[in-house]
Amino acid sequence: MASAEGKVRSRPQHVGQHNFPVVDNCLHIGGQPITTLAERAGDRAFYAYDSSVMSQRVTELKAQLPSAIQLHYAIKANPMPAVVQHMSGLVQGLDVASGAELAVAIATGTASADISFAGPGKSDADLRAAVAAGVIIILESSTEMHRVAALAGETGTLPKVAIRVNPDFELKASGMKMSGGPKPFGIDAEQVPEVMQVLANLPLDFVGLHIFSGSQNLRPESLIEAHDKTFDLALRLAEQAPRPLRWLNIGGGFGVPYFPGEQTLDLKPIMHNLQRLVDELLAAMPDVEIVMELGRYLVAEAGLYVCQVSDKKVSRGQTFLITNGGLHHHLAASGNFGQVIRKNYPVCIGNRVTSDTLENVSVVGPLCTPLDILGERMPLPAADIGDLVVLFQSGAYGFTASPHLFLSHPPPLEFLV
Ligand SMILES: *Cc1c(COP(=O)(O)O)cnc(C)c1O
């Protein structure tokens, strides 16, 4: 327990399991001490991503994934071009959600047939680029279908399209629900048969369906239920399709543990169930290519966010570490990216991983808002100005999911090691 001065003596919490070795009490990533990367970063906070941890994650997943399922990387989780390049060598395809992401995906050399482009409200420029590249365009509305058909007429091409279905079910216990009920994503399942009939008479190459039901799920029973319903819906819709499905994207939704009490997802029951569903589907539709798209699950645990203590103070008994990083660099860790209740990400002091002297501290950033919290009342090794605060589980929805411009401090750097 904390005494009045905030001093505690116990093992640090939250460091827990992670993928990074500790040598001489200093955290290492990619074979180098975190202090070396901090020197390279100068006075800037930074993200560091470990390519070998990403490779290991994909290898372990592929060993369990039914072999008939193609694994795609949804690059919005971490679109750093070097990361996408690395991931493109590990997975069978890439999923993008903007014109700029499309350009990054194409630059990796991934075949256009293995790139799909989802997202509501695609601009004319986005659609033109997608048609020119020949990627699979995931139609998010009937209007978008007609816009792509018009472009097809103009350019004399036959764009590959899939219909994104807004399912008639929800992925239960999902961190972020993306389906069921009224949603801006996709076409409601009950409207899809009619839309497919219209599509059949347009200059479009209908490849299949995309059914994505949610994100950040850590409960195997919820994912199993969602997979059952996804395959069932796909089979029902396929019966009403103008031609046999060649492509079925079943989404992803696999979560990673962030907070105390959360456990790594148990893949075994999920994969066992998926194998049964895949076998049944392929019996009915032998030529369909089944795709699973994952973002967070493939990259989150490979990334660290590192900032430096620039001031330390005690306010009415509470010790604050003020850093050169914060909400503007790592919105999710501040608790403001869709969380209902703020919880602490796993944190350590990178150059002082364990210590006999722990201190109960709050880690904050330099922004003039009480929302700028990276860790609230956490027992950490007693840290000084210049020490490095490291947040684990930061490889996904970090750098690009944060409002860098807020208060005009310098943005963080990114390293792939
Ligand atoms: C965001 C998104 C993903 C990736 O979700 P994760 O939770 O990061 O795996 C996949 N597909 C679509 C359509 C998305 O919008």
pLDDT in tens, 162-175: 999 999 887 776 66
Question: 104 is written with which tokens?
Answer: 């990054």
Tens of pLDDT along 257-294?
Answer: 999 899 999 999 999 999 999 999 999 999 999 999 99
For residues 71-98, average pLDDT: 98
- Is the CB of 74 inside a 6 Å radius of any atom of ligand 1? yes
- Is the CB of 252 inside a 6 Å radius of any atom of ligand 1? yes
Residues pairing with 290 in the sheet: 69, 248
Tens of pLDDT along 373-382?
Answer: 999 999 999 9
CA–centroid distance, 218 to ligand 1, in Å, is 15
Tokens 């390279």 sit at which residue? 40
Which atom from ligand 1 is nearest to the alpha carbon of 76? 1
Check residue 189 and report its DSSP letter. G
- Is the CB of 295 inside a 6 Å radius of any atom of ligand 1? yes
- Is the CB of 77 inside a 6 Å radius of any atom of ligand 1? yes
Read off the pTM: 0.94
Residue 198 has pLDDT above 90, yes or no: yes
For residues 387-396, average pLDDT: 98
Task: Give catalytic residues, as residue numbers.
Answer: 368
Residue 173: what pLDDT?
67
Which atom from ligand 1 is nearest to the alpha carbon of 298? 9
CA–centroid distance, 174 to ligand 1, in Å, is 12
Q: Which of 179-183, 187-191, 220-224, 295-299 has the lowest mean pLDDT?
A: 179-183
CA–centroid distance, 164 to ligand 1, in Å, is 13
Tens of pLDDT along 114-156?
Answer: 999 999 999 999 999 999 999 999 999 999 999 999 999 999 9
Residue 249 has pLDDT above 70, yes or no: yes
Residue 6: what pLDDT?
43
Residue 13 has pLDDT above 70, yes or no: no
Residue 9 has pLDDT above 50, yes or no: no
Question: What one-letter code names the amino acid at 276?
Answer: R
d(CA 330, CA 321): 16
Nearest to 413 by CA among 274, 286, 303: 303
- Is the CB of 291 inside a 6 Å radius of any atom of ligand 1? no
CA–centroid distance, 226 to ligand 1, in Å, is 15
Question: What one-letter code names the amino acid at 350?
Answer: G
Complete domains list, the chain, with CATH: 7-50+303-416 (2.40.37.10), 111-294 (3.20.20.10)
Residue 12: what pLDDT?
43
- Write the CB contacts of 12 (distance below 8 Å, at least 6 apart in sequence): 348, 353, 354, 355, 358, 379, 380, 381
Torsion angle (degrees, nearest 10) of CA 155, 208, 293, 87: -40
Percent of the chain's residues with pLDDT above 90: 89
Antiparallel, parallel or unpaired: β 187-188 and 176-177: unpaired
Tokens 């076409």 sit at which residue? 187
For residues 396-407, average pLDDT: 98
Percent of the chain's residues with pLDDT above 70: 94
Residue 174: what pLDDT?
67
Residue 178: what pLDDT?
62
Which atom from ligand 1 is nearest to the alpha carbon of 297? 9
